[in-house]
Chain A
Amino acid sequence: MARRPIEFRHNGEEKAAFVADGQNLLDVLRRGIGDLTPKYGCGQGTCGACTVLIDGLPHLSCLTLAESVAGRSVDTVAGLANGSLSPLQEAFMDNFAAQCGYCTDGMLMAAEALLRANPRPSRTEVVEAISGNLCRCTGYEAIINAVLAAAERGGVRRAG
């Protein structure tokens, strides 16, 4: 199958990858450049585990044609921690917002998108922001509390 080269910014670093016709971004991130933080849950847009930011907006990487990110910025959980965990990640730990952890990377990126655009969201805005992400373990309350706690602590500013 024909493969074509693309270049994009991944967590602030220039990356190049070969993509096949129709290949999705999730596959290229995981298998092409080895970033295993976005997760494969459904491949249908239903679970949100594959959420990444493209030019700052939350997107489902499983429903994103990989070649469409050429020249754009893709941010994943791998870029959140900078030596130490980000305030958002810390708030997830402190509030027991992860149990099995499968949804966590997608939840973190959905919350990251919210806090970048709206550093002091209301509870309703947090619920709305994570409405595209399924969690089968926590019952969501702990996640909502974690995002609100992160906002109180200064949101997405990097720790360390």
Chain B
Amino acid sequence: MPLTVETFATFAEAGRAFASARDARFMGGGTLVMRALNEADPAFAHIIRTTDPALRAIRVAGGVLELGAHVTMAMLLANRDAAFLAPVARVIGGPQVRSAATVAGNLFAARPYGDFAGALMALGATAETADGRRMPVEELMRPGVARTLVGAIHVPVPQERLLFAKVSRVKPKGVSVLSIAALLPKRGGRIEGARVVFCGMGPHPMRAAGAERALNGATLDAATIARAAAAATEGLEPADDALASAWYRREVASVHLARVLKEAR
């Protein structure tokens, strides 16, 4: 089947085309879509893209960082308002990948990719879709969710530091064995509403419910960290791949979570 690439001047037009062509795939920065095209992957026969400059905007309004879908990791690293995301953006691939890789594309990158999506999930970010809906990034990650075109991502600027660690074998640019993003808001000295997300420990970034339960209502002392680490892999579904076995991922996940939490004390 011949390949078709349709380019639209506006996101609205691309959105209409995407809604009416069920077989079409959207291309952002193309780091993964172009790979599929180079391999002649038959699942990518009809591509839709847009050159709409609005999708490259970064702005802060009312304590929320708004990122257009086409904002790249390199653009984030050059923007002061996005400094809290820099530790994550800095470790997505090498410099060339970061010049092209978009924030929205990361939401749909198959495992073990999706380190940035994991951080967005920990931050409680929401996605704005082409049909005008707003949905939590976390919902977008759920299996079976309807095919969605994302135009922007809204990230609440956190009061506390985003904790993040990427574990890879090749440094500095290796693909994740796993990555961890966590936000530990506190009230009256105790953690309340902890969000701990693992990437690489399931088909998509997943919250570590056991660890969150151990953290909520507690102070971040050695006993709490030990309890959170012990419950780290509850409900997670790591898989075997060329980088690591599921067994290995399970073994090291709690160790790395404990390190991230210790560093936050």
| Contact surface of A with B, Cβ cutoff 8 Å | 1, 21-22, 24, 43-45, 48, 51, 54, 57-60, 62-65, 67-68, 110, 113-114, 127-129, 131-133
Q: Is the interface of B mostly helix, strand, loop or mixed?
A: mixed
Given the interface contacts A63-B30, A131-B172, does A22 sit within 8 Å of B99 by beta carbon? no
Q: Does B31 contact A (CB under 8 A)?
A: yes
Smallest Cβ distance from A99 to chain B, in angstroms?
Answer: 21
Among the 9-residue stretches B32-40, B205-213, B257-265, the one with 4 or more Cβ atoms under 8 Å from chain A is: B32-40
Determine the distance from Cα of A63 to Cα of B99 in the docked complex, in whole angstroms.
11
Among the 9-residue stretches B8-16, B56-64, B90-98, B189-197, the one with 4 or more Cβ atoms under 8 Å from chain A is: B90-98
Given the interface contacts A1-B2, A67-B7, does A24 sit within 8 Å of B38 by beta carbon? yes
Smallest Cβ distance from A51 to chain B, in angstroms?
Answer: 6
| Contact surface of B with A, Cβ cutoff 8 Å | 2-5, 7, 27, 30-31, 34-35, 37-39, 47, 49, 51, 74, 93-97, 99-100, 172-173
Interchain CB contact under 8 A, B2 and A60: no
Smallest Cβ distance from A24 to chain B, in angstroms?
Answer: 6
Chain B residue with minimal CB distance to A62?
A: B38
Partner of A110, one of B3, B4, B39, B95: B95
Smallest Cβ distance from A88 to chain B, in angstroms?
Answer: 16
Given the interface contacts A44-B38, A45-B31, A60-B100, does A22 sit within 8 Å of B95 by beta carbon? no
